C-alpha cells in the first residue's frame, strides 16, 4: 500500500538534492563567471589555432621557397603556388591575432557571446 506522504517526501528529497547540487549558472553572479570563463576559453582556442596556422604557413613557405629554387617545370610552379597560398594563410592568421590582441572581449553579455563563437548558427532567446 502506498502512503499518502510518499510522493511529497520524494519531492522534498529531490528538491533538497537539486538545491545542494545546483550548477553555477543558478547563482545571480555565476553567469558573469561562466561567461568570462567561456570567453577566456574561446579566445585561448582561437589564439592557439591562429598560431598553429601561422606556423604551418611559415613551414610551407620555407619548403616552397627551397623547392622552387631546386626544381623545374610543373613542380616549380606547384612550389610557387604553395608559397603564394601560404602568404595568404599568414595574412589570415596575422589579422586574426591582431584582432584578438586588440579587442579581448571578455565581458560580453550572454546573447552576444554565442554568436561570436559560432556566427554561422542562429540562436533563439
Over residues 21-45, the pLDDT tens digits come to 555 545 545 557 777 788 788 888 9
- Give the count of domains, the chain: 1
In a domain, 12, yes or no: no
In a domain, 98, yes or no: yes
In a domain, 42, yes or no: yes
Are residues 93 and 50 in contact, defined by beta-carbon separation less than 8 angstroms?
Answer: yes
In a domain, 103, yes or no: yes
Work out the angle at residue 99's Cα, subtended by the Cα atoms of residues 98 and 103, and round it to the nearest 5 degrees: 120
- The predicted-structure confidence for 99-119, as pLDDT tens digits, reads as follows 888 876 555 555 555 555 555
- pTM, 2 dp: 0.58
Domain with 31, as residue range(s), is 27-117
For the cut 50, the answer to whether the pLDDT of residue 95 exceeds it is yes
In a domain, 94, yes or no: yes
- The predicted-structure confidence for 2-26, as pLDDT tens digits, reads as follows 555 555 777 767 766 666 555 554 5
For the cut 50, the answer to whether the pLDDT of residue 63 exceeds it is yes
The predicted pLDDT at position 36 comes to 76
Amino acid at each position: 500500500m502506498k502512503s499518502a506522504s510518499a510522493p511529497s517526501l520524494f519531492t522534498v528529497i529531490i528538491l533538497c538534492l537539486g538545491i545542494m547540487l545546483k550548477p553555477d549558472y543558478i547563482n545571480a553572479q555565476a553567469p558573469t563567471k561562466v561567461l568570462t570563463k567561456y570567453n577566456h576559453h574561446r579566445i585561448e582556442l582561437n589564439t592557439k589555432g591562429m598560431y598553429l596556422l601561422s606556423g604551418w604557413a611559415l613551414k610551407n613557405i620555407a619548403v616552397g621557397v627551397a623547392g622552387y629554387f631546386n626544381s623545374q617545370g610543373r613542380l616549380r610552379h606547384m612550389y610557387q603556388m604553395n608559397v603564394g597560398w601560404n602568404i595568404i594563410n599568414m595574412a589570415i592568421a596575422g589579422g586574426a591575432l591582431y584582432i584578438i590582441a586588440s579587442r579581448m572581449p571578455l565581458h560580453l553579455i550572454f546573447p552576444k557571446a554565442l554568436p561570436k563563437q559560432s556566427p554561422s548558427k542562429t540562436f533563439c532567446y
